[in-house]
Amino acid sequence: MTDYLDQLPNAQSIIISRPNTRVDGLVAQLNELSTQNLPLKIITCPLIDIADYFDWQEVEPKVEPVNFANFDGVIFISGNAVKHAQARLSEENWTQLIKSPLYAIGQQTADVLQSSFEQMTNKPIVKHPQQMNSEGLLKMPELINTQGQQWLIVKGLGGREKLKIGLQQAGAKVAELHVYQRKLPGLMAQKQIASYNQLTPDQTAPIWLITSLQALNNLWRVLNKDSKNCQVIVSSDRIANEANKKGFKIVAQSIDATDKQLASCVKQFIQD
């Protein structure tokens, strides 16, 4: 952003809480919304640190994870799940894995997975739901009746219990492959995060874009569970419900967590 924003007390700070590897497109779209009369200051401040983790979680009835081509469906929960799985699996196992029917939690995860096939002649098809969450996945025709099938969820450590349980209730045998873990940012980063809500009288309160429960929970912890003056835009009903419980001020809710919908939500909010 141009230097004049730092000199304008009425500039609205929009803080993107995603990992830095996933912010470029959203930053570009938000910058396009900024004008001289209504300036936006776009800040990137990840609320989650991503660290390596590699472990099978076998869920009864047991699925044997040795045969990576043994699944009726493989679901990737995030772009991090794609990148860490490809980095940690052998080339042979990765090649076997992507021969299974592939699903992604949403468009952006599907795009990351598709980009991993760029060097392939016959690129696999990746399906994703219009409703980009676990509930949307479970409504897809392929996931409604999975009786006797074997499914794999590739994910970070923890979370997505609803998806696992939903598949099991539909009759599937489910295994999970944890390929990364989410952590609270380090102490220096936590101080920076907390500083954004420590305003002087002439400053406008920032707005956090929150697209995961983990990010919301980490922000709440960094703020010492005092979130009453913290403004957030959330990307789902589930995050909104938790934000309300924790006392955050929800100023808007996006249709989903895609760059397009988040930018559209911010645009609508600043114009109202």
Write the DSSP assignment of 203-252 as a string of letters: PPPPEEEE-SHHHHHHHHHHTTT--TT-EEEESSHHHHHHHHHTT-EEEE
Residue 270's region, left for phi above 0, alpha for psi from -120 to 50, else beta, is alpha
Does pLDDT of 63 surpass 60?
Answer: no
Task: Give the contacts of 151 (CB within 8 A, at least 6 positions apart).
Answer: 71, 72, 73, 74, 75, 167, 172, 173, 174, 175
Percentage above 70 pLDDT, the chain: 89
Percentage above 90 pLDDT, the chain: 45
> What per-residue confidence (pLDDT) applies to 5?
43
Does pLDDT of 3 surpass 70?
Answer: no
Between 66 and 249, the more confident residue is: 249
d(Cα 46, Cα 70) in Å, to the nearest integer? Answer: 36
Average pLDDT for residues 227-256, to the nearest whole number? 93
Average pLDDT for residues 29-35, to the nearest whole number? 91
Average pLDDT for residues 155-182, to the nearest whole number? 88
So where are the chain's domains? 52-183
> What per-residue confidence (pLDDT) applies to 2?
39
111-125, 141-155, 227-241, 258-272: the lowest-pLDDT one: 111-125
CB of 229 closer than 8 Å to CB of 174: no
Q: Label residues 95-109 b or e (16+ Cβ within 10 Å = b).
A: ebbbebbbbbbbbbb
> What per-residue confidence (pLDDT) applies to 182?
84
Average pLDDT, the chain: 86
> What per-residue confidence (pLDDT) applies to 202?
61
In residues, how long is the chain? 272
> What per-residue confidence (pLDDT) applies to 1?
36
pTM of the model: 0.69
> What per-residue confidence (pLDDT) applies to 204?
78
> What per-residue confidence (pLDDT) applies to 64?
47
Interior CA angle at 97 toward 95 and 100, to 5°?
Answer: 115
Q: pLDDT tens across 80-125, in order?
A: 899 999 988 888 889 889 999 999 998 889 998 998 888 777 888 8
Q: pLDDT tens across 207-221, in order?
A: 999 998 889 999 999
Does pLDDT of 60 surpass 50?
Answer: no
Q: What strands, in cross-sheet order, belong to the sheet with 150-156? A: 49-58, 173-183, 150-156, 73-76, 102-104, 126-127
The CATH fold of domain 52-183: Rossmann fold (3.40.50)
Average pLDDT for residues 218-240, to the nearest whole number? 92
Average pLDDT for residues 153-170, to the nearest whole number? 88
